[in-house]
Structure 1
């Protein structure tokens, strides 16, 4: 397994040496809200929507006061817009009223906010504060299972724990982003690009529909 991990690390370092977060943001609350909005949709679509959202309501105070109906209109392209509009309002209200308009660093405080789960906490702390974290989203789960790094039956909590044991702490955030980008553009859910993949030899889930 150690050789497998090293092989994956070396390949991803050569393929994606400087991984990046594809969500656009300029402030801590913009990043937090963007991550929450990214559930069940693409970062590209989130960026299109948040551009409109944060230009119209360019402060937490304005977001807190924004009519839910207007938020729903803006967020409609993302799906689940009723729920997401409420999350935007509730998060803004919580940050203004409880945290002096600053997103807290503490996991317990972050995780207690509406719509903010473990993955969101990990992504936020990793991206904004450069805190070592290994968030597990659908891409990380798919890639780690296909590469035999975790069991097919493992849930996201178990996957996170196992990946954190296998990879060096100082590389958690980087490796997370590499997994996300690799899963998004190469090891896709449908028609993964297996023919040009340098990890095909260790992949446990080679797909018949690969291109």
Structure 2
């Protein structure tokens, strides 16, 4: 899998173009290629989970189906090379919220309420997990496009849902890196700054 992620000074259209050009190169090597997210050639292939359905073990059969034909390259199974998934997407933000309870069912219910596949927020994937070492449960999330659903929006939704069960939010966790623009939105929301932007951060003028 190869994602192209546009950062500062690069537009999404450029990332999509890079994905398609690489896809053609890989296809010429005899490898089936599927495009996903912003580089998808059809709406049903925007979701990475759908593109990966069946994984490697189900690829041979999928290539024989009309719905499983690759976007580029041969529709033939090679056990050595498999297939390649190439896309263009926003930076993925791994953001988790801890709840002050050991009831996993509550975390799972809240996860269903906020994730897009269950009718929640766009670009949010979520599940409930146990953190036995902390004696809490967690709503673990991947935010795949913070411009559609910013961090603070899903945080407040979880806080509201948790309150319905009489459970407090006791912490949150950012796993890995996040773009400054996404954190700008959090600062603007919680501090109610009317004209805040990264231009007001000292370090942004030093990098």
**Pair in the same fold by TM > 0.5:** no
In our comparison, the structure showing a higher alpha carbon Rg is 2
| Larger strand proportion of the pair | 2
TM-score relative to the length of structure 1:
0.26
| Larger helix proportion of the pair | 1
TM-score relative to the length of structure 2:
0.27
